[in-house]
Amino acid sequence: MSSHGILLLNKRSGFTSFDELRYLKRHTRLKKIGHAGTLDKFAEGMLIVLVGYMTKFTQYFVSLEKEYYARFFFGEETDTLDPEGEVIHRGEMPLRQQVTCVLDQFLGEITQTPPEYSAVHINGKRAYRLARSGKQVDMPQRRVQIRSLELLDWQPPEAEFRITCSKGTYIRSLARDIAMASGTRGYVSRLTRNSVGPFHIDHGVRAPEIDLPVHLISPAEAVSRAFPLDIAQVYPEYEHKVKNGVKPSEQWLTYCRKSGSDSGFLLVTDGTDQPAGWYHRDGSRLDTVYIPTESGL
């Protein structure tokens, strides 16, 4: 069986993303494995696991939009901004209207300061390692996109939200900032990543239940579900050039599938319908993503 593709993992709360990958490596004997976007230890939900040469696609799957269900606890702030931390600030319990009135401030493109306890690199070191050692951490701000922010339930001192956002968004920072804008303090008490792009938690599988022949999604299917995908066969006389890393000219190809988009992926196959090259297309620009070798189609 080919060991290339993606797994839709429903990450368990209480395990780090790397814990889950280590478990999969140990129990499936997969040699090359990665993920498209870390989830905090206390969080659960959709984690896209990239297997084999699909690890070359990490940056593209990381860029997909995410949807979260989050429970915010108002009136206290922990140092980690999650339930595993120590309470460092307290505030009054806000009224529901105080919270709903500030939500529009956090829609669209906003500036966020990531939590000190995060995996952000600061001078080559992880921020959480610096924070744990007691060092002062100057966190760089970042621009993120919040497409939707909906208050679903209000049960003081907690409230549940549905959030759709861009890559790089910290829901823990969002909880802190919404609470402060409401005149109090807050942290995330529960977090579920509901979806990543078109991949929904309903199709996710817990790590102990993963069965590779059943749950591994092929590279072509995985890419086509998330991005525009063109598939073309290279003419025999040009096959050796493509397999040696030469980017294909349009005149070398005959298409069996066209997405109609000038941005997305191109899969070039050889005469046996095996991958000869994967490329990312952005207008007239064509970037090589992966060229298979004889031992790693």
In a domain, 295, yes or no: no
pLDDT beyond 70 at 297: no
pLDDT beyond 60 at 122: no
Distance CA 279, CA 268 (A): 8
Residues 148 and 231 in one domain: no
Q: Residue 81: give its domain's CATH number.
A: 3.30.2350.10
Which pLDDT value is given to residue 135?
63
Which pLDDT value is given to residue 125?
56
pTM confidence score: 0.90
In a domain, 106, yes or no: yes
Residues 107 and 155 in one domain: yes
Nearest to 125 by CA among 59, 116, 15: 116
Q: Is 40 part of the annotated catalytic residue set? A: yes
Which pLDDT value is given to residue 121?
52
Give the pLDDT band of residue 1 (cuts 50, 70, 90): very low
214 contact partners, CB below 8 Å, separation of at least 6: none
Please, what is the average pLDDT of the chain?
92
Q: Select which of 19, 40, 82, 104 is catalytic.
A: 40
Which pLDDT value is given to residue 119?
59
In a domain, 297, yes or no: no
pLDDT digit string (tens) for 60-74? Answer: 999 999 999 999 999
Residues 248 and 215 in one domain: no
- Please, what is the Cα angle at 62 between 17 and 243, to 5 degrees? 110
Domain that holds residue 92: 66-196
